[in-house]
A = this chain, B = another copy of it.
C-alpha cells in the first residue's frame, strides 16, 4: 500500500530534437510542439485532480517552461517552484551538440546506445575548444550554484547523475514528500531515469532498457521509506505513450532509408 505519490516528467525537446542532436546542458528552448505537449500534460494532471506542493526543476529553461505551462493549465501558478542544477540533464561532454546519426555512423549504434543508455560509461569530457563550452560555462546560473564552478561536471555517466542528484533529493525533495505534499518534478530524460533507478531499485543492467517518453506524467507510488511500491506508471493514453517511447528510442538509431 503506498503512502506517498510523486509525479515526474521528462520535458519535450526543442529544435535539436528534430535534428537528433544531444542537447544536454545547452539551454535550448522548447519548440511549439513541445510546449503543446507540456500543456496536454497539464490538462491530464488537471483531469486527475492533482494539487501540487512544491515543483522541482533543473536550471535548464526547457524544464522550467514545461513546469510553468503545466502549472498554468492547472491554475496553480502560485505553487512554489525550486530549481537546481542537481536536476539538470546528464552532461554529455564532448558529444554535446553532435548529431546522433553521425555519431552512430562514426562509432556504431552500439557505442551510441552505451553512451546514452548505460549506467557508468562516461562520454569524453567537454573541452574549452568545444563550440558550446563558453555558452554553458559563462552563464551566470553556473556561478551561483551550490557547488564551486570548477567542480561542476565536464561529462557524466548516468551513475554520476545519480550521485549528484541524490544529496539534493535527500535534503530538499524527500522532506517535502514525507510532509505529505504531492511533488512534481519537471526534469530530463536521464535525470528522471537516475531517480527511477534509485526509487525502484532498478539494476545497472536493466536501466539501459528504460525509456521515458517526453511530456508524459510518470506516477510513482512510494512507501513510508520512500521506496516505490510498484513499477512507475505512465499516465494517459497507453497507445500514444508506447508510440512516444518508440520515437525516443529511434533517435539513437541510424536511418536505413535514404531521405
Contact = CB atoms under 8 A, between A and B. Distances in A.
Nearest to A143: B51
Interface string A76-87: 111111110000
Contacts of A61: 72, 75, 77-78
Interface in A132-160: 140-141, 144
Interface string A13-29: 00000000000000100
Interface string A193-234: 000000000000000000000000000000000000000000
A197 B44 CA distance: 44
A197 B140 CA distance: 34
A140 B51 contact: yes
A64 B68 CA distance: 10
A: contact size bracket: 20 to 34
Interface in A51-100: 51, 53, 57-61, 64-65, 68, 72, 75-83
Given A57-B78, A59-B78, A79-B83, 16 more contacts: A27-B75, A51-B140, A58-B78, A61-B75, A61-B77, A61-B78, A64-B77, A64-B78, A65-B72, A65-B77, A68-B68, A76-B141, A77-B83, A78-B83, A80-B83, A81-B81
24 contacts: A27-B75, A51-B140, A53-B144, A57-B78, A58-B78, A59-B78, A60-B78, A61-B72, A61-B75, A61-B77, A61-B78, A64-B77, A64-B78, A65-B72, A65-B77, A68-B68, A76-B141, A77-B83, A78-B83, A78-B141, A79-B83, A80-B81, A80-B82, A80-B83
